């Protein structure tokens, strides 16, 4: 198998484990824009798919009850915003940067790219490539490409049944800049040993460990939060301390205005519960049960997908580690405490990014 093929197998395996289900649900109205995307930086944006279509679209979320489609990106696996006017994704040609309308495309790197993350100002990008030892982490700035370091590969694998898929609750791959652009973090937990790397933006290695179980990282402000065997820890100013002892959060996401993190955690019966935690007070608010993969659309609204009870054909086993998707997705209003069904079936990224 070629290195380019291995890259896609690895990503598809991860996507299959983290994917959302489909099914009928009454959607929000969707408006199609008749003009090209503007250059406004104040409006909230999201890269989403809608029910009945696998095309990733750029959506304007200014009015959450009337989501406006600005452009169609295509079927790229995981596009992300570089800014309010540009996006980026990795495909067979390499790492691509383009305006929201999709063209003209600029190939930033022609290498086979795995993970990648842009600096907050869009002037620098970090990305991984396959190496003999696993993967190399590159930093590309002003046309100069250098290797920050290396790490073991995340591995390749998959699940044949829900009963045998407990790994879905620890599987995560994140390479990102801190919100202020001063650090780069790599936290990988896949089908191989976990990896934790932290560099300063100028390339100095700040922290490195391959301790088993380190996973589920997220930046909020100047703090990097991550999960290990003891719960959720936080790294700040060179020191690691407890944040939420005993909590096994799953794929946390920070709010665009900072100060809050949304996450899921599973109970002993495998049901997902969605929570929001205040990073200052550590106060936890449970939002809903049987709701998974939450993400902030804006500081007020959260998207997540529903779960349903297992049936015999699901092969969940007597103690399922997860539950099947119900096929229904929702938007939760933190201000009013209300939940509404939505036509949004997946969310790749939102803008603005977490502060």
CB-based contacts of 110: which residues, under 8 Å, 6+ apart?
93, 94
Mean pLDDT (the chain, rounded) = 88
pLDDT grade, residue 154 (50/70/90)? low
The pLDDT assigned to 155 comes to 63
- Quickly state the pLDDT bin for 77 (edges 50, 70, 90): low
Domain boundary assignment for the chain: 3-351
SS (H, E, C) the chain: CCHHHHHHHHHHHHHHHHCCCCCCCCCCCEEECCCCCCCCCCCCEEEEEECCCCCEEEEECCCCCCEEEEEEEECCCCCEECCCCEEEEEECCEEEEEECCCCCCEEEECCCCCCEEECCCCCEEEEEEEECCEEEEEEEECCEEEEEEEECCCCCCCCCCCCCCHHHHCCEEEEEECCCCCEEEEEEECCCCCEEEEEECCCCEEEEECCCCCEEEEEECCEEEEEECCEEEEEECCEEEEEEECCCCEEEEECCCCCEEEEEEECCCCCEEEEEEECCCCCEEEEEECEEEEEECCCCEEEEEEECCCCHHHCCCCCCCCCCEEEEEEEEECCCCEEEEECEEEEEEEECCCC
Phi, psi (deg, nearest 5) at residue 247: -90, 125
At residue 309, the pLDDT reads: 97
Q: C-alpha 80: how far from its chain's center?
A: 10
Lowest pLDDT segment from 100-104, 155-159, 304-308: 155-159
pTM: 0.89
User: pLDDT, tens digit, for every residue of 4-16?
Assistant: 444 433 443 444 4
- 41: pLDDT strictly greater than 70: no
Q: What is the pLDDT of residues 166-177, one digit of tens each?
A: 989 999 999 999
| Neighbour count for residue 98 (Cβ, 10 Å) | 19
Banded model confidence at residue 211, pLDDT cuts 50, 70, 90: confident
State the fold for domain 3-351.
Answer: Methylamine Dehydrogenase; Chain H (2.130.10)
Structure-model confidence comparison of residues 248 and 103, the more confident one? 248
For 138, counting Cβ atoms within 10 Å of its Cβ (0-12 exposed, 13-18 middle, 19+ buried), the class is buried
Q: Between these two residues, 170 and 332, which has the higher pLDDT value?
A: 332
- The per-residue pLDDT for range 272-324, each reduced to its tens digit, is 999 999 999 999 999 999 999 999 999 999 999 999 999 999 999 999 999 99
Q: What is the pLDDT of residue 190?
A: 78
**CA–CA dist 128, 136 (Å, integer):** 5
Share above pLDDT 90 across residues of the chain, in percent, rounded to a whole number: 75
Q: For position 102, what pLDDT does the model report?
A: 86
250 pLDDT more than 90: yes
pLDDT at 153: 76
């Amino acid at each position: 198998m070629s290195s380019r093929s291995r890259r896609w197998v690895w990503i598809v395996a991860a996507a299959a484990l983290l994917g959302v289900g489909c099914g009928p649900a009454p959607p929000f109205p969707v408006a199609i824009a008749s003009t090209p995307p503007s250059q406004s930086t104040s409006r909230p944006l999201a890269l989403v798919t809608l029910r009945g279509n696998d095309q990733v679209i750029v959506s304007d979320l200014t009015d959450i009850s009337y989501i406006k489609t600005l452009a169609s990106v295509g079927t790229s696996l995981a596009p992300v915003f570089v800014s309010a006017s540009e996006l980026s994704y990795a495909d067979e040609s390499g790492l691509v940067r383009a305006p929201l309308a999709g063209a003209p495309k600029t190939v930033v790197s022609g290498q086979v790219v795995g993970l990648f993350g842009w600096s907050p100002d869009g002037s620098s990008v970090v990305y991984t490539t396959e190496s003999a030892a696993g993967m190399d982490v590159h930093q590309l700035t002003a046309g100069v490409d250098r290797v920050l370091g290396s790490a073991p590969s995340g591995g390749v694998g998959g699940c044949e049944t829900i009963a045998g898929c407990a790994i879905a609750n620890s599987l995560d791959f994140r390479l990102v800049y801190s919100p202020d652009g001063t650090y780069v973090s790599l936290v990988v937990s896949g089908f191989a040993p976990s990896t934790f790397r932290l560099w300063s933006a100028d390339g100095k290695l700040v922290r490195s460990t391959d301790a088993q179980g380190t996973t589920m990282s997220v930046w909020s402000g100047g703090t990097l939060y991550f999960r290990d065997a003891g719960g959720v820890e936080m790294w700040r100013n060179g020191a690691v301390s407890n944040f939420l002892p005993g909590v096994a959060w799953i794929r946390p996401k920070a709010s665009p205005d900072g100060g809050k993190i949304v996450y899921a955690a599973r109970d002993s019966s495998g049901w997902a519960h969605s929570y929001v935690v205040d990073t200052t007070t550590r106060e936890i608010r449970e939002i809903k049960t049987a709701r998974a993969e939450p993400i902030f659309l804006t500081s007020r609204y959260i998207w997540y997908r529903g779960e349903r009870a297992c049936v015999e054909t699901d092969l969940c086993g007597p103690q399922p580690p997860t539950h099947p998707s119900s096929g229904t997705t929702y938007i939760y209003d933190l201000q009013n405490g209300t939940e509404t069904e939505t036509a949004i079936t997946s969310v790749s990224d939102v803008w603005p990014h977490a502060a």
